[in-house]
Structure 1
Amino acid sequence: MSHQWDTLEGFGDDDEREEVAVSALVHIVDGVPELEGLDELTLVVTLDGFLDAGNAAVSAADHLESVSGGPGPLGSAGSGKVVATFDVDQFHDYRARRPAMSFVHDHYEQYDAPRLLVRLHHDTAGTPYLMLRGPEPDNRWEAFCSGVREVIERLGVTRTVQIGAVPMAVPHTRPIAVTPHATRPELMTGASPWRGELRIPSSAQSLLELRLGEWGHDALGYVAHVPHYLAQLDYPQAAIALLEDVERGGRLTIDLTALREAGEERAVEITQYLSGNAEVAEVVSALEQQYDTFRQAESAGQNLLAPDQPLPTGEEIGRQFEQFLAGLEED
């Protein structure tokens, strides 16, 4: 049974009411033997619905579940012991994101209920870690952050690592860039490519990191830059880049063999298409020139804007790659 804050009459001060409200939103398993006596424990966070160009974060999370012994997808049997469950009805807008279900002949079955869970996994070396997966909350972000804080403090999490991906005007022929971020400079595992201040749309994940920093908990994350003409496809290369950083930031060991094989297959598909489509190849070439000019100027400490080499617009690239995307989807 869940409670709203404004119905908690009879309880003491505001702190007591908040504690009761948070407890109603998340159920945490007590006495998990695998977590006893640990000096360090990482929580990996990936929320569906935002910050996932190229399905990079979802692919990365699916891979973590598969190499941890779970056959994937989220919620399937054997994909990790559940150690915390959020009351998803408090966060999910069902009319905006309607779950799928099956109609078989004359009846309904197989309702894919949204689930927001924390599961226990083990990396390649046997080190235990936690992973929070599920749909990004549509509302009550502050309550969600408080619920995650409760999980962190009850289960002894020492660092939280978040992953995501955004579409960028970059070529697929260059290394995947990743923007790192953290609540403390000491947690950074690489330099941020950004200078100055950016005003961006917020997310439940970004608010979570902000609040964790304010509450004194270590949190860091990584956002991969995905070529925006590939943003609607599975792009394993971005998932690989994210998990390589999760290894460093989360102090985990991850077998990436299957993802690397998928990335090689995708690269072959893209190369084959470009070899027979000169116009599309020209667009990629323009992005390569812009990227290289940017990097050269950055290395020389000069203006990072390439003179007289404007980037193609999203509409221009979208038109050029319409056939490309359709061809890959058919395959």
Structure 2
Amino acid sequence: MSETRLVHIVDEVAEIDASEESTLTMVVVLDGFLDAGNAAARAAQHLADVAGTDDGAGRVVATFDVDRLHDYRARRPAISFVVDRYDSYDAPRLVVRLLRDSGGTPYLLLNGAEPDNRWEGFCRAVREVVERFGVTRVISMGSVPMAVPHTRPIAVTHHANNSELLLGASPWRGELRVPASAQALLEVRLGEWGHDAQGFVAHIPHYLAQLDYPKAAAVLLEQVELAGRLTVDLSGLRAEAEDREAEISSYLEANEEVGDVVAALERQYDAFERAEESGDNLLARDQPLPTGDQLGHEFEQFLAGLENPDAEDQD
């Protein structure tokens, strides 16, 4: 198989080929990285759940050759063992689905396991999809753990390969060297090939990074709606978020020491906000930020309590 066949694209997609829409958005969420709080994956799942299609999940219009992209020993898929035999192998998938928003507008969703290798080949394969279907904008979602309190608005880092696409100012100054991802490289390469791409990264309280955090998923989808000119029913996701917030608040009320840690983060966050508004140094004075180890210790029981609500309380 040649490198150009890293992806198999359906020959005819009447819904797109016959569409009179002048724009077509493709949303990208690659699992395995940049997903604190499972926010991006939950957002992608919500898009599939609420899609206005007959099968709910949407028609697959492109399939990537995962066998050439996935490191099975690094990320072993699950397989069921039933009494005396192996069964139900959960093969990793990386596909592009055709979905419709609440108003019937078609768009694409590229979702699945992030490639472990051949990133450049993967980017070229995505370019094939973009050019085959006439995608006019690619939008990615991600989330990272940050030293922020859950009681403040979720911040979002906006990024794009074309500054005209940016919906908000960046909170960062200067250059940051961060671990690369296939999703980030894709944005760079698409820009080099003349295709618009942008994305949003939600800042997740790092004491909640191991939990599902639907509030952040809803915030990401709000940005996707604006950038992609789509309409998504977020009511179910927001209801999940309210339930999660109630669980967190209930735990904090019963655990004063954990509440103290959150209060320290709130003071630090508010000091940063005031400093930014006044143009002063962003480093707040006399407001030491709890370390990752301190937060980990304080929230060890917190995480266990939320994931195991029936377990006995521990001191």
2:22 alignment partner, SS class? coil
Give 1:46's aligned residue: 29
TM-score, scaled relative to structure 1 = 0.91
Aligned-residue Cα RMSD (Å) equals 1.1
Q: Is the 8 A contact 2:52 2:102 kept in 1?
A: no
Q: Deviations over 1:152-192 (max 9, x none)?
A: 00111000000000000000000000000001111011111
Contact in 1 for aligned 2:115/2:182 (Cα 8 Å): yes
Q: Give the deviation of 1:69 after TM superposition.
A: 4.6
Q: CA deviation at 1:276?
A: 0.9
Contact 2:127 2:190 survives alignment (8 Å)? yes
Aligned partner of 2:313 in structure 1 is: none
What is the correspondence of 1:79-158 to structure 2 with a 5 Å cutoff?
A: 79-158=57-136
Distance 1:25 1:261 in 2: 39
Q: Distance in 2 between matches of 1:277 and 1:311?
A: 20
Picking from 157, 160, 179, the partner of 2:138 is 160
Pairing 1:280-295 to 2, within 5 Å after superposition: 280-295=258-273
How many residue pairs are counted as aligned between the two chains?
307
Structure 1 runs of 4+ with >2 Å offset? none
- Name the CA distance, whole Å, in 2 between partners of 1:231 and 1:272: 18
From 26, 51, 58, give the equivalent of 2:41.
Answer: 58
Residue from 161, 170, 173 that aligns with 2:148: 170
Q: CA–CA distance in 1 between the matches of 2:259 and 2:132?
A: 53
Letter in 2 for 1:43: M
Matches of 1:201 and 1:136, distance apart in 2: 14
Q: Distance in 2 between matches of 1:318 and 1:70?
A: 43
Percent sequence identity is 67
Gapped regions of structure 1 (runs ≥ 5):
4-20, 72-76
Give the partner amino acid of 2:219. A
Deviations 1:204-248 (A, max 9, x none): 000000000111000000000000000000001110110000001
Asked whether the equivalents of residues 48 and 57 of structure 2 are also in contact (C-alpha less than 8 Å), the reply is yes
Matches within 5 A, 1:246-325: 246-325=224-303
Give the distance between the partners of 1:316 and 1:227, measured in 2 at CA.
14
Instruction: Give ranges in structure 2 of 5+ residues lacking alignment.
Output: 310-315
The normalised TM-score by structure 2 is 0.96
Q: Say yes or no: does 1:243 pair with 2:224.
A: no
**Candidates 12, 26, 40, aligned match of 1:31:** 12
Distance in 1, Cα, partners of 2:288 & 2:38: 28
Deviation at 1:70, TM superposition (A): 6.8
Q: Could you tell me how far 1:310 is from its partner in structure 2? A: 1.9
Structure 2 residue matching 1:110: 3-state secondary structure: strand
Q: CA deviation at 1:274?
A: 0.3
Offset at 1:308?
A: 2.1
Q: Does the 8 Å CA contact 2:26/2:107 hold for their aligned counterparts?
A: yes
For residues 53 and 37 of structure 2, the distance between their equivalents in structure 1, rounded to whole angstroms, comes to 23
1:207 equivalent in structure 2: 185
In structure 1, the partner of 2:162 is: 184
The offset of 1:125, in angstroms, is 0.7
